[in-house]
Amino acid sequence: MASESNGHVPAIEVENLRVVRGDNPVLPDLSLTVTGGSVTGLLGPSGSGKSTLMRAIVGVQLISSGSVLVLGQQAGSRPLRREVGYVTQAPSVYGDITVHENLTYFARILGAGEDDVVRVLETVALEAFTTRIVGTLSGGQRARVSLATALLGRPRLLILDEPTVGLDPVIRRQLWETFGELARSGTTLLVSSHVMDEASHCEEVLLIREGRLVSSEPPRELLRRMHADDMETAFLRLIEEEET
Amino acid sequence: MSPRITGSTALRVLSQLRRDPRTVALLLVVPALLVVLLKYVLEGSPGSFERLGGPLIGLFPFIVMFLVTSITMLRERTTGTLERLLTLPLAKLDLLLGYGIAFGLVAAAQVAIVAAVGIGWLGIDVAGPIWLLVVLAIGNALLGMSLGLFVSAFATTEFQAVQFMPVFVLPQLLLCGLFVARDQMAHFLYVISYAMPLTYAYDALARVTTSDVFDRYLARDIAVTAGVILLSLALGAATLRRRTA
DSSP state for residue A201 in the 8-state scheme: G
A133 part of contact set with chain B, CB < 8 Å: yes
CB-based contact, A109 to chain B, within 8 Å: yes
Dump pLDDT digits (tens) for B5-35: 999 999 999 999 999 999 899 889 999 999 9
The residues pairing with A34 across neighbouring beta strands, listed in sequence order, are: A12
- For residue A25, give the nearest of A212, A193, A208, A162 by alpha carbon: A212
Check whether residue A72 and residue A161 sit in a common domain. Answer: yes
Whether residue A70 sits in one domain with residue A118: no
Considering the domain architecture, whether residues A53 and A97 belong to the same structural domain is answered as no
Q: How far is B242 from chain A (nearest CA, A)?
A: 6
- Flag whether residue A79 sits within 8 Å of chain B, measured between CB atoms: no
B28-58: pLDDT as tens digits: 999 999 999 999 999 998 888 988 888 988 8
**A43 with A106, same domain?**
no
CA-CA distance, A173 to B25, in Å (whole number)?
Answer: 46
**List of chain A residues whose C-beta atoms are within 8 Å of the C-beta of residue B24:** none
Across the beta sheet with A204-209, the strand order is A84-87, A157-160, A188-193, A39-43, A204-209, A212-217
Residue at A206 is within a domain: yes
The stretches of B116-169 forming alpha helices (DSSP H) are: 130-152, 158-164
User: Is residue A183, in this structure, part of any structural domain at all?
Assistant: no
Terminal Cα-to-Cα distance of chain B (whole angstroms): 26
Tell me whether 0.90 is exceeded by the ipTM: no
Q: Tell me which range, A38-42, A169-173, B67-71, B135-139, is most confidently predicted by mean pLDDT.
A: A38-42
> What is the interface size between A and B, counted as CB pairs within 8 Å?
74
| pLDDT given for residue A3 in this prediction | 39
Cβ–Cβ gap A62/B11 under 8 Å: no
Q: What is the mean pLDDT of residues B214-233?
A: 93
The answer to whether position A66 is within a domain reads: yes
For residue A160, give how far its alpha carbon lies from the nearest alpha carbon of chain B (Å).
13
How far away is chain B from the Cα of A238, in angstroms, using its nearest Cα? 31
**Do A161 and A236 fall into the same domain?**
yes
Pairing of strands A10-21, A65-70: antiparallel
Instruction: Indicate whether A171 belongs to any domain.
Output: no
Biggest distance spanned by C-alpha atoms of chain A: 57
Chain B CB within 8 Å of residue A62 CB: yes
**What percent of chain B shows pLDDT beyond 90?**
58
Candidate from A21, A76, A94 with C-beta closest to B81: A94
Enumerate chain B positions whose Cβ falls within 8 A of a Cβ in A.
Answer: 4-5, 8-9, 11-12, 15-16, 19-20, 79-81, 83-90, 242-245
Q: Which of B5, B8, B19 sits opposite A96 (nearest CB)?
A: B19
Q: Note whether A148 and A107 are within 8 A (CB).
A: no
Sign of CA dihedral A236, A237, A239, A240: positive
Q: Is B64 helix (H, G, I), strand (E, B) or coil?
A: helix
pLDDT tier at A174, thresholds 50, 70, 90: confident
pLDDT digits (tens, 9 = 90+) for A214-240: 999 999 999 999 999 998 898 889 888
All residues of chain B having their beta carbon less than 8 Å from the beta carbon of residue A84 are 87
Smallest Cβ–Cβ distance between A105 and the set B8, B79, B87 belongs to: B8
Average pLDDT score over residue span B193-199: 95
Provide the mean pLDDT of chain B. Answer: 91
A58/B87 Cβ within 8 A: yes
Nearest CA in chain B to A88: B80
Determine the residue type at A126.
Answer: L
Q: Cα Rg for chain B, rounded, in angstroms?
A: 18
In a domain, A173, yes or no: no
Question: Are the beta carbons of A44 and A194 closer than 8 angstroms?
Answer: yes
Instruction: Give the number of residues written for chain A.
Output: 244
* Whether A90 contacts chain B with CB within 8 A: yes
CB contact under 8 A, B80 and A76: no
Same domain, yes or no: A59 and A95: no
B224: pLDDT strictly greater than 50: yes
The Cβ of residue B176 has, within 10 Å, a number of other Cβ atoms equal to 23
Percent of chain A with pLDDT over 70: 96
Whether residues A127 and A94 fall in one domain: yes
pLDDT tens, position by position, A95-123? 999 999 999 999 999 999 999 999 999 98
The nearest alpha carbon in chain B to A63 belongs to: B245
Tell me the average pLDDT of chain A. Answer: 91
Which among B64, B82, B207 has a CA at the least distance from the CA of B148? Answer: B64
CA nearest neighbour of A40 among A243, A237, A226, A218: A218
How many structural domains compose chain A? 2
Among B4, B16, B244, whose Cβ lies nearest the Cβ of A60? B244
Q: What is the pLDDT of residue A127?
A: 95
A133-146 pLDDT, tens digit per residue, is: 999 999 889 999 99
Cα–Cα dist A98/A135, whole Å: 8
Same domain, yes or no, for A72 and A89?
A: no
Q: What is the pLDDT of residue A172?
A: 86
Q: How confident is the model at residue A9 (pLDDT cuts 50, 70, 90)?
A: low
Q: Residue range A71-83: average pLDDT?
A: 94
Q: Quote the Cα angle for B154-B159-B162, to 5°.
A: 75
For residues A56-82, average pLDDT: 95
Instruction: State the burial class of residue B224 (Cβ atoms within 10 Å of its Cβ: 0-12, 13-18, 19+).
Output: middle
Averaged pLDDT for residues A192-208: 90
Please indicate, yes or no, whether residues A131 and A42 belong to a single structural domain of this protein.
Answer: no
- Top pLDDT among A9 and B188 is at B188
Same domain (yes/no): A54, A161 = yes
Tell me: do A124 and A110 sit in the same domain: yes
- Interface contact B243-A62, CB threshold 8 A: yes
> Residues A62, A161: one domain?
yes
The three-state secondary structure class of A150 is: helix
Mean pLDDT of all residues in B90-117: 91
Count of beta carbons in the 10 Å neighbourhood of residue B245 = 13
CATH number at residue A11: 3.40.50.300
- Which chain B residues have a beta carbon less than 8 Å from that of A91? 80
For residue A5, the model assigns a pLDDT of 39
Compute the nearest-CA separation of A230 from chain B (Å): 35
Rounded Cα gap, residues B39 and B232, in angstroms: 34
What is the CA angle B164-B168-B173, rounded to 5?
Answer: 130
Q: For position A8, what pLDDT does the model report? A: 55
Chain B within 8 Å of A69 (Cβ-Cβ)?
Answer: no
Q: Which domain holds residue A138?
A: 84-154
Give yes or no for a contact between B233 and B146, defined as CB atoms under 8 angstroms apart.
Answer: yes
Residue A115 lies in a domain: yes
B8 contacts in chain A (CB < 8 Å): 104-105, 108-109
